[in-house]
Amino acid sequence: MQLAHYLGFAHRSQEELGEAFREVAQGHAEEAAVFHIAQRLAGQCEEHAERLQPFAERYGEEAPEEPERLHSDLFGGTREGPLGLLRDLHDLYVMAAEVDMSLTLIAQAAKGARDSDLLEIVQECEKETATQMDWLRTQMKQAAPQALVVAE
């Protein structure tokens, strides 16, 4: 059963996304909304990872390195200034999209395996991940004029 691969991917991706949210929060602490909300979203990601853990144990977790590679490729540390914030938010969005797609695929597998417990958890995580992506998109829209037109 290949579900173990995607459970491992989703579990690790959630951990990496949570860590990245915390990095961006700390790196842009002067932006109060970014600091506080990114910290809260990091907690959600950590909770998602915890909720997926029993299923990773049930199905066996294969731990691919892709989430760590994605994090390290995107984040060599947070960037400075308005353009740095925009790029950091964009990177978080890409990571969240990876999480979102892995959850979608796991939900489909849970339906196929008739695992209603896994399906319920994944659907709840999907909803919160969609909200995270909406917040990131809104923050990028707000930051773009300053970062791309005004800032030097």
First CA to last CA distance, the chain: 52
List the chain domain ranges.
3-150
Output the pTM of the full model. 0.89
Note down pLDDT in tens along the chain; length 152 residues: 688 888 988 988 999 999 999 999 999 999 999 999 999 999 999 999 999 999 988 887 666 566 555 555 666 777 888 999 999 999 999 999 999 999 999 999 999 999 999 999 999 999 999 999 999 999 999 999 988 998 56
Inter-residue contact 16 to 72 (CB < 8 Å): no
In CATH terms, the fold of domain 3-150 is: Ferritin (1.20.1260)
